[in-house]
A and B are shown apart, each in its own frame.
Chain A
Amino acid sequence: QKEVEQDPGPLSVPEGAIVSLNCTYSNSAFQYFMWYRQYSRKGPELLMYTYSSGNKEDGRFTAQVDKSSKYISLFIRDSQPSDSATYLCAMSRVDSGGYQKVTFGTGTKLQVIP
């Protein structure tokens, strides 16, 4: 079993829809949770970064962490065609050497149709 599971999609929605992207994880040691957006042939771009359970909002984006269920979500309100990209969840924990180690999900490909 992978430490981080993410549905690869593709997910296709009409412009203006609310998008829900999710990841589950198996290791309760994960402490930091991140969402990255990656356009085709580009490097990942950090969107949201959270530490604790609960919600964090930034414009049209809301990140949600439920540590008890080992489940994180990214919601995109009023989705735009420019949101079409692959969204990667990532989370980090302290490894045996005492350093933070980041593990990524496989990414969900999102297409917003005008």
Chain B
Amino acid sequence: DTGVSQDPRHKITKRGQNVTFRCDPISEHNRLYWYRQTLGQGPEFLTYFQNEAQLEKSRLLSDRFSAERPKGSFSTLEIQRTEQGDSAMYLCASSLSTGGTEAFFGQGTRLTVV
């Protein structure tokens, strides 16, 4: 499978616990995005990498959220001290940096905080 891969697909955690999600982009794509999607809403931008550099973070990304992309390959999104409001689908997308912004999404990680 040469598409964007996300792991895990589902995560249930207790409030206050830390969780980490992984995204493996399409191999030649140097841009990587994280989005959050709640029920009935479109994806909301969280953060964006160009290779290993994190170029932009949304105001939605509180101090409890951290994202990394070591070596410009896979990326991780960590949420510390999870809250019930963090329950959502976390989507990763990747694209090339040249040309337009045609982005391809993974299947997402669905987080439920209980």
Contact = CB atoms under 8 A, between A and B. Distances in A.
Interface of A: 4, 6, 8, 32, 34, 36, 41-46, 49, 51, 88, 90, 92, 95, 97, 99-107
Interface stretch (B14-22, B61-69, B77-85, B100-108): B100-108
Contacts of A42: 107-108
Contacts of A107: 40-42
B56 A43 contact: no
Given A46-B103, A92-B101, A99 B41 contact: no
Q: Which of A44, A90, A100 has the most CB of B within 10 A?
A: A44
Contact of A88 (B43, B100, B107, B110): B43
Interface of B: 4, 6, 33, 35, 40-45, 48, 50, 55-56, 89, 91, 100-108, 110
A106 B41 contact: yes
A58 to B, nearest CB: 13
Contacts of A102: 33, 45, 101, 103
Given A43-B107, A92-B101, A99 B55 contact: yes
List the 7 closest A-B pairs by CB distance, nearest first: A104-B42, A43-B105, A100-B101, A92-B101, A43-B107, A106-B42, A44-B105
Nearest to A103: B45
Contacts of B40: 8, 106-107
